[in-house]
Amino acid sequence: MTAPDPDRLNDLGKRLDELQTRQAAKTQRQAPSQSSIAFRFATELMAALIVGGGLGWGIDWLFGHFGFHTRPAFMILFFVLGAAAGIRNVMRAAHEINAEIAKGRTSDNGNGKETGS
Partner 1 sequence: MNLNPMEQFAVKPILGLDKPLFEIAGHPIYFTNQALLMVIVAVVSSLFLTLAVKPNRLVPTRGQSMAEMSYEFVAGMIHSATGEDGLKFFPFVFTLFIFVLCSNFFGMVPGSFTVTSQIAVTFALASLVILMVIVVGFMKHGIGFLKLFVPHAPWYLLILLIPIEVISFLTRPISLSVRLFANMLAGHTMLAVFGGFVVALGSAGGLLSALSIAPMLLIVAIMLLELLVAFLQAYVFAILTCIYLNEALHLHDYH
- List residues near partner 1 by CB under 8 A: 39-40, 43-44, 46-48, 50-52, 55, 78, 81-82, 84-86, 88-89, 92, 95-96, 111, 113-114, 116-117
Asked whether 110 and 27 are in contact (CB, 8 A), the reply is no
The least CB distance from residue 23 to partner 1, in Å, is 14
Q: For residues 38 and 33, what is the distance between their CA atoms, to the nearest angstrom? A: 9
The least CB distance from residue 33 to partner 1, in Å, is 10
Cβ distance to partner 1 smaller for residue 21 or 111 = 111
Q: What is the DSSP string of the chain?
A: -PPPPHHHHHHHHHHHHHHHHHHHHHT---PPPHHHHHHHHHHHHHHHHHHHHHHHHHHHHHHHHTT---HHHHHHHHHHHHHHHHHHHHHHHHHHHHHHHHHHHH-TT--GGG---
Cβ distance to partner 1 smaller for residue 39 or 68 = 39
The least CB distance from residue 85 to partner 1, in Å, is 4
The least CB distance from residue 112 to partner 1, in Å, is 11
Cβ distance to partner 1 smaller for residue 21 or 30 = 30
Cβ distance to partner 1 smaller for residue 22 or 113 = 113
